[in-house]
């Protein structure tokens, strides 16, 4: 079947109310409207095959609502020079925000995310492992790989930084020491951002915008809702994709921390600390919560120095939060 020459493929960058801003594959940015229901292009599923684990055709999601990061087919409107979204490709992943009531209220913040990049500063502001753990759990809960960037690394002694954060590397989170100021570690960071959709997150003031600017000379456009504005509200979280000049996108997800775990099943949390996994089946009780239970293999692993104690503390804090929110709904 010959492709319709007028059809174009693009990536959704932003919702601007009634229209969507789309970066077409040829590099042009245009506005398009969505009419009627989203048509999923089943025949495009083949593209995702043989791309490794997590990207099998079976794991693809069928989007019902358009989100930033979606790959869409656009075609010219019959009259005028405007564009219409005529189809959408299946998603291979998404960063979701759940709402009270479970799946029904789920909302996709960014579609087709390849990785979550959590940025902290080595100092000023002082990094906070408990907050870091929260971001990592959000990534795990969405089935997304995460990496950690410690920016402003020129401010702190390197071996102290490695002693403090090296553990995360050993449990599977690649660690980057960067400085937007001295440009240290920037080449390596650029390599892992190129050609992918990265959800960039972390507290404000750690240098996220400075890093993207130093790397690519582009300004990270601040999300439709800043985290300060968003705090305490659960209705308006806007994500925005910034295209990188050499391919790939950075999604600014300022509200991630506030909304990330709301409605997440507490029983799943133990699986979102990857280093707990080898011990989970060894606990004496099948429904062990790894808090105070006798014969808990996770607690034993902490005592043997195989699992960092503070990680179990983060787990306990998050578990209490999730259990409280489960009671609410």
> What's the rounded Cα separation, in Å, for the pair 51 and 114?
12
The answer to whether residue 181 forms part of the interface with ligand GDP (CB under 6 A) is: yes
Locate 196 and state its tokens: 């992918």
**Residue 204 contact partner, candidates Zn ion, ligand GDP, none, CB within 5 to 8 A by sort of partner:** ligand GDP
CB crowding 235-269: b at 16 or more within 10 Å, else e: eebbbbbbbbeeebbbbbbbbbbbbbbbbbebeeb
Contact assessment for residue 46 and residue 112, using Cβ atoms and an 8 Å cutoff: no
**Residue 283 contact partner, candidates Zn ion, ligand GDP, none, CB within 5 to 8 A by sort of partner:** Zn ion
The answer to whether residue 254 forms part of the interface with ligand GDP (CB under 6 A) is: no
State the nearest-atom distance from the C-beta of 204 to ligand GDP, in Å. 4
The answer to whether residue 179 forms part of the interface with ligand GDP (CB under 6 A) is: yes
The answer to whether residue 176 forms part of the interface with ligand GDP (CB under 6 A) is: no
Among positions 209-248, residues that touch ligand GDP (CB under 6 A) are 209-210
> Could you give the residue ranges of the DSSP H alpha helices within 55-156?
129-141
The answer to whether residue 288 forms part of the interface with Zn ion (CB under 5 A) is: yes
The answer to whether residue 151 forms part of the interface with ligand GDP (CB under 6 A) is: yes
Instruction: Candidates 1-9, 163-171, 206-214, 316-324: pick the segment binding ligand GDP (CB under 6 A).
Output: 206-214
Q: Which of 98, 90, 97 is nearest to 72 (CA)?
A: 90
State the nearest-atom distance from the C-beta of 215 to ligand GDP, in Å. 11
The answer to whether residue 198 forms part of the interface with ligand GDP (CB under 6 A) is: no
- Residue 14 backbone dihedrals phi, psi, to 5 degrees: -170, 150
> What's the rounded Cα separation, in Å, for the pair 246 and 124?
31
The answer to whether residue 55 forms part of the interface with ligand GDP (CB under 6 A) is: no
State the nearest-atom distance from the C-beta of 41 to ligand GDP, in Å. 36
Binding test (CB under 5 A) with Zn ion, winner from 137, 139, 259, 298: 298
**Residue 288 contact partner, candidates Zn ion, ligand GDP, none, CB within 5 to 8 A by sort of partner:** Zn ion
Q: What is the torsion angle, in degrees rounded to the nearest 10, for the CA atoms of residue 159, residue 162, residue 163 and residue 169? A: -160
Q: Which of 94, 170, 175 is nearest to 127 (CA)?
A: 175
The answer to whether residue 325 forms part of the interface with ligand GDP (CB under 6 A) is: no
State the nearest-atom distance from the C-beta of 299 to Zn ion, in Å. 6
Instruction: Give the list of residues 6+ apart from residue 45 with CB closer than 8 angstroms, or none.
Output: 57, 60, 90
> How many residues are listed for the chain in this entry?
329
> What's the rounded Cα separation, in Å, for the pair 290 and 279?
10
Binding test (CB under 5 A) with Zn ion, winner from 283, 307, 318, 322: 283
State the nearest-atom distance from the C-beta of 91 to ligand GDP, in Å. 27
State the nearest-atom distance from the C-beta of 205 to ligand GDP, in Å. 5
From residue 244, alpha-carbon distances to 24, 93, 151 in Å are 14, 20, 20
DSSP structural state of residue 153: G
Residues that bind ligand GDP (CB under 6 A): 151-152, 154-155, 179-181, 204-210
């Amino acid at each position: 079947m010959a492709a319709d020459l007028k059809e174009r493929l693009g990536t959704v960058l932003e919702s601007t109310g009634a229209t969507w801003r789309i970066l077409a594959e040829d590099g042009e940015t245009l506005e398009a409207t969505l009419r009627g229901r989203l048509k999923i292009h089943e025949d495009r599923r083949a593209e995702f095959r043989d791309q490794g684990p997590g990207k099998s055709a079976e794991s693809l999601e069928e989007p019902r609502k358009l989100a930033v990061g979606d790959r869409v087919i656009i075609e010219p409107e019959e009259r005028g020079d405007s564009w219409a979204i005529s189809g959408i490709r299946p998603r291979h992943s998404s960063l979701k925000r759940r709402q009270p009531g479970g799946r029904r209220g789920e909302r996709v913040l960014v579609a087709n995310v390849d990785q979550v990049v959590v940025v902290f500063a080595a100092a000023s502001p002082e990094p906070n492992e408990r907050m870091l753990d929260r971001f990592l759990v959000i990534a795990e809960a969405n089935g997304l790989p995460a990496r950690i960037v410690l920016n402003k690394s020129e401010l702190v002694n390197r071996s102290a930084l490695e002693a403090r954060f090296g553990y995360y590397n050993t449990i599977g989170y690649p660690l980057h020491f960067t400085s937007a100021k001295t440009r240290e570690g920037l080449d390596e960071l650029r390599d892992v951002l190129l050609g992918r959709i990265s959800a960039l997150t972390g507290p404000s003031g750690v240098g996220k915008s400075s890093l993207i600017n130093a790397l690519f000379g582009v300004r990270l456009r601040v999300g439709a809702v800043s985290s300060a504005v968003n705090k305490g509200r659960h209705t308006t979280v806007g994500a925005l994709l910034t295209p990188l000049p050499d391919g790939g996108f950075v999604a600014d997800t300022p509200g991630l921390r506030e909304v990330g775990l709301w409605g997440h099943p507490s029983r799943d949390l133990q699986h979102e600390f990857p280093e707990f996994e080898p011990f989970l089946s060894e606990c004496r009780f099948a429904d062990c919560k790894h808090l105070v239970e006798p014969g808990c293999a996770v607690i034993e692993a902490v005592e043997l120095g195989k699992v960092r104690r503070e990680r179990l503390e983060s787990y306990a804090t998050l578990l209490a939060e999730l259990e409280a929110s489960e009671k609410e709904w």
